[in-house]
Amino acid sequence: MGMYDRKSPYMLPEEPKTQAVCTCGKTGNPPYCDGSHQGTGKEPAIIQMEKGKTVAICGCGKSANIPYCDGSCSR
C-alpha cells in the first residue's frame, strides 16, 4: 500500500520539531520522507511544529494543500 492509497488522512500527534513529510507518494514510511523521492523531481514538505498538536497529513494525494489534508478524500 502506497502513501496515497488511503481514503483518510494520517492523523499525527506531533511534538515541537521540524519534520520532512513525503510529497512523492513513494515513501516506505508514510507519511514521513525516507528519501524515495530521489530522481522524481519532487522534494519533501518541511513542516515546523511550534508546539505539540495533532496534524492531518493527506493520505489520498488529492489535497490542494499538500502535505495537509483539505478533505478531498471525503468528496
Which helix (H) or strand (E) element contains residue 46?
Answer: strand 45-49
Quote the CA–CA distance of 52 and 26 in Å, as a whole number: 27
The whole-number pLDDT of residue 1 equals 62
pLDDT at 51 over 90: no
Q: Which domain holds residue 64?
A: 3-74
Among 64, 60, 53, residue whose Cα is nearest residue 74: 60
pLDDT single digits (tens) 20-33? 999 999 999 999 99
Quote the CA–CA distance of 18 and 11 in Å, as a whole number: 17
- Which three cell numbers, joined as nine digits, stand for 73? 478524500
Structural domains of the chain, count: 1
SS3 14: strand
